[in-house]
Amino acid sequence: FCRQFRLTSGDSASDVLACRAENGGWRMAAAAPAAAVDEFIPASGAPVFDAAIQALGPVNVLDAEQERAFLSR
C-alpha cells in the first residue's frame, strides 16, 4: 500500500508518495516541492503524483481498522 506525507526541513518542504515494498520496507514513488500553505491545490494533486498513482494501477482503499491491521504485520 502507499501513503502520501510531507517532509519538512527548515524553510523547505516536500510532498512524498511512498509505497510498501515486498521486503516490508518503503519505496519512494514520487516527490515534489510542497505548495505554499495559502496556495490553491486541486483535488487531483500534483501531476507527478497523478502519474505515479496512475502507474500503480488499480488500488484498494483501506479503512482505519484495515490500515492498523496491515501496519501491525
Each of the 73 residues of the chain gets a pLDDT tens digit; together they read 788 888 988 888 888 989 888 888 899 998 988 876 666 655 555 677 788 888 888 877 778 898 888 878 7
CA atoms within 13 A on the CB side of 24: 4
What distance in Å separates the CA atoms of residue 28 and residue 31, rounded to the nearest whole number? 7
- Residue 58: what residue type? P
What integer pLDDT is reported at residue 62 of this predicted model? Answer: 79
| Helical spans, DSSP H, in the chain | 47-56, 64-71
